[in-house]
A and B are shown apart, each in its own frame.
Chain A
Amino acid sequence: MLYSILIFGAEGVTENLSPEAQDALIQQHNNLKTRLEAEGTYRGSVQLMPPSTATHLRDAGKGTELLDGPFAESKEQFLGFYLIECDDVGYAQQAARELPAGVATMEVRAVAWARGAVTTDG
């Protein structure tokens, strides 16, 4: 089974960490990646650029329209994700626990279907 750990946080909070705290945060991510790789369960991870770089596609009635990024809100934004291949959701939840929680919240969700560099085909 392929599991994802989705990472959410308020825009700009991570950038407001001191350089040392940012390094510590990166170290936590690297530690998890190293452990998952050693156990053969790591399938990839993605950090997204700030939400303000995003463009949105929406059906405007006359066809799909390209809109500018979301207005800044205090609610949490999607920042990035991990993909982990394992049989037990508890394993993925434990991995999520090892990520920095103070500046982000994590959501563990099973992947229904994936093709390409990562695939759900055995």
Chain B
Amino acid sequence: MADRAAIAAHLAAARPRAVAALVAWCRDIEMAEDAFQTAALRAAKNWPANGIPRDPTAWLLHVARNAARDVYRQRARQAEEPLEAAFRLADGSQPQAEEALDKARFRDDVLRLLFLCCHPSLQPGDQVLLCLRHVLGLGINDLARAHVTSADTMQRRISRARARAQARLGAGEADIKPGERAGSIAQVRKALYLMFNKGYGASHDEQHLQPLLVREAIRLARLLVSLFPGEPESLGLLALFLGHSARMGARLDAAGSLVTLPDQDRTLWDRGAIAQAAQYLQNALRSGQVGPFQVQAAIAAVHNAAARAEDTDWKEIHCLYLALEALEPSPVVRLNRLVALSRLQGPDRALAELQELVETLADYLPFHAVYAGLSEEAGRRADAVRALRAALDCHPSTEERIFLTSELARLKDGAGTGRS
């Protein structure tokens, strides 16, 4: 006898491959989704009594294909078309009867579905929604709750995004030729990175999105890694996600205020996730093809390796940021490198270099937070207060606001000026 929790877990694990194979077969995302739902319902009825099949994906695929065929037949009857016409697919070919579950094809099917959901022509927010809905199978109600919207609104938004993706599918833009595989995987990684960051750095009042997006981005990164284990940047991405998510339990204090890295209770970090991240990163670095995700994962790993904040190897972190700047120059990377530099040489030189970033990062909250911290360290309290005020103008999340306000109060008290 199989219990319901186990069946749900098997369905969730089989889903990306099954739906991807169905989309490749009928070239219709909605039809594939409906067919999978039918098969999942049948499994929920059948498996408790008969046990979980040895290959759940193959079982689901078989049932789902039969369900889709029934729908095609009905449509043909309504339109009084010959059955063969109804079976002719978007690309003019006939669906294969019972093709063997070819593993290599399976992998490309999943990649094609991921790429379709992460297609560059879609808004990043819609990319995330399509991945959650069609690759991972999250329900409309769960998605609506996480986005604080009604189920109807969520349904409409997903339908619109799916129609756009379906058009790309129809135009053959999701077909991946062997030479283009690496580019498609890179596009999927980019979308997952945005999903994770949106979850990890949820701003305004989006805290409810946080655990959902972080968890699901990790699931998708695991899927990508298990499909294409030889891709060092995918391994780096998963290592990066695991390395950061390991600290989730220590990021908020009892009052709901954000706890910065140096002040976090490191005993709350998830050691299992840190160890896994280190393993994926080691495997990635073995390839000798270093990329930005691997370097970022390495930075997270150096932080995670320090039992106490004062044990942090800032020299190593500074070197890694230099490498990251060389690979992918950006003001944010430079800001982070300057934080490392200040730990090595004190605040003055870092503050001087930060001046060059004032204009580019004027709307970037962490810039002002860093500026405030270094100014205080350099004994320039008035500058620190000004920077904290600037940070509060950058639309902080609730946790960030609590943190910044308490910092501001502390600085003013310490300066002996009292509260104005």
Interface residues of A (CB under 8 A from B): 10-18, 20-21, 24, 49-53, 55, 66, 68-75, 100, 102-103
Chain A: minimal CB distance from B294 (Å): 15
Nearest residue, chain A, Cβ from B11? A16
Find B6's partner among A11, A12, A73, A102 (CB 8 Å cutoff): A102
Contacts of B12 in A (CB 8 A): 16
CB proximity of A107 to chain B, nearest CB, Å: 14
**Bound state CA distance, A52 and B226, in angstroms?**
6
- In the complex, the answer to whether B222 meets A12 with C-beta atoms within 8 Å is yes
The 8 Å CB contact of A103, one of B6, B58, B279, is: B6
Query: What would be 18 A-B contacts, judged by CB atoms less than 8 Å apart?
Result: A10-B13, A11-B226, A12-B223, A14-B9, A49-B279, A52-B222, A52-B226, A52-B280, A53-B280, A55-B286, A66-B286, A68-B230, A71-B226, A72-B223, A102-B3, A102-B52, A103-B6, A103-B10
Q: How far is the CA of A13 from the CA of B17 in the complex (A)?
A: 13
CA–CA, A18 and B12, complex, Å = 11
What A residues does B57 contact at CB under 8 A? 74
Which residues of chain B have C-beta atoms less than 8 A from A21's C-beta? Answer: 5-6, 9
Which residues of B from 268 to 292 have beta carbons under 8 Å from A?
275-276, 279-280, 283, 286
Contact A75 B55, beta carbon cutoff 8 Å: yes
**What is the minimal beta-carbon distance from A4 to any residue of chain B, in angstroms?**
22
Shortest beta-carbon distance from B149 to chain A in Å: 24
Taken together as a complex, chains A and B put the C-alpha atoms of A24 and B227 apart, in Å, by 29
Q: Are A74 and B280 in contact (CB under 8 A)?
A: no
Contact B283–A53 (Cβ < 8 Å): yes
> For the complex, is B225 an interface residue (Cβ under 8 Å from A)?
yes
Q: Give the 7 A-B residue pairs with the shortest CB-CB distance, closest first.
A: A102-B6, A72-B226, A21-B5, A16-B12, A16-B9, A68-B229, A53-B279
Q: A68-B283, A102-B3 are in contact. Are A74 and B101 (CB under 8 A)?
A: yes
- Report the Cα distance A14→B9, complex, angstroms: 7
Contact of A72 among B5, B10, B56, B107 (CB under 8 A): B107
Number of B residues whose C-beta is below 8 Å from A?
Answer: 34
**A13 touches which of B9, B103, B107, B283 (Cβ 8 Å):** B9
Contact of A70 among B6, B13, B17, B229 (CB under 8 A): B229
Are A72's CB and B227's CB within 8 A? yes
Q: Is the interface of B mostly helix, strand, loop or mixed?
A: helix
**Contact between B9 and A17 (Cβ–Cβ < 8 Å)?**
yes
User: In the bound complex, what is the Cα–Cα distance between A23 and B219 (angstroms)?
Assistant: 19
With a cutoff of 8 Å between Cβ atoms, the chain A residues found around residue B56 in the complex are 10, 74
Q: B332: CB under 8 A from chain A?
A: no
Q: Which of A15, A71, A74 contacts B227 (CB 8 A)?
A: A71
Cα(A102)–Cα(B280), bound, Å: 28
Complex Cα spacing A15 to B6, Å? 11
Given contacts A17-B6, A71-B107, A71-B229, 8 further A-B contacts (CB under 8 A): A50-B222, A53-B276, A69-B283, A72-B226, A74-B14, A74-B101, A102-B2, A103-B9
Q: Which residues of B are found within 8 Å of A103, using beta-carbon distances?
A: 6, 9-10
- In the complex, what distance in Å separates the CA atom of A95 from the CA atom of B390? 62
Question: What residues on B are CB-neighbors of A49 within 8 Å?
Answer: 275-276, 279
Cα–Cα, bound, A72→B52 (Å): 19
Q: Which residues of B contact A11 (CB under 8 A)?
A: 13, 226
Residues of A within 8 A of B357 (CB): none
* Chain A residues within an 8 Å CB radius of B275: 49
A107 to B222 alpha-carbon distance, docked (Å): 27
Q: How far is the CB of B3 from chain A (nearest CB, A)?
A: 5
- Are A15 and B229 in contact, CB atoms less than 8 angstroms apart? no
B8 within 8 A of A: yes
A16 to chain B, nearest CB (A): 4
User: Do the beta carbons of A71 and B103 come within 8 Å of each other?
Assistant: yes
B225 contact set on A, CB distance < 8 A = 52
Taking a contact as CB atoms under 8 Å apart, the answer to whether B5 and A102 are in contact is yes
Contacts of B2 on A, CB cut-off 8 Å? 102
A13 with B286: in contact, given A52-B226, A75-B55 (CB under 8 Å)? no
Residue of A with least CB distance to B57: A74
- The residue in A12, A14, A51, A69 that gathers the most chain B C-beta atoms within 10 A of its C-beta is A12
Report which of B55, B101, B226 forms a contact with A51, defined as CB distance below 8 A. Answer: B226
Interface residues of B in 345-378 (CB under 8 A from A): none
Q: Please, what's the 1-or-0 string for B225-269, where 1 marks a CB less than 8 Å from any CB in chain A? A: 111011000000000000000000000000000000000000000
Q: Would you give the shortest CB distance from A67 to chain B, in whole angstroms?
A: 9
Asked if B5 contacts A74 (CB within 8 A), the reply is: no
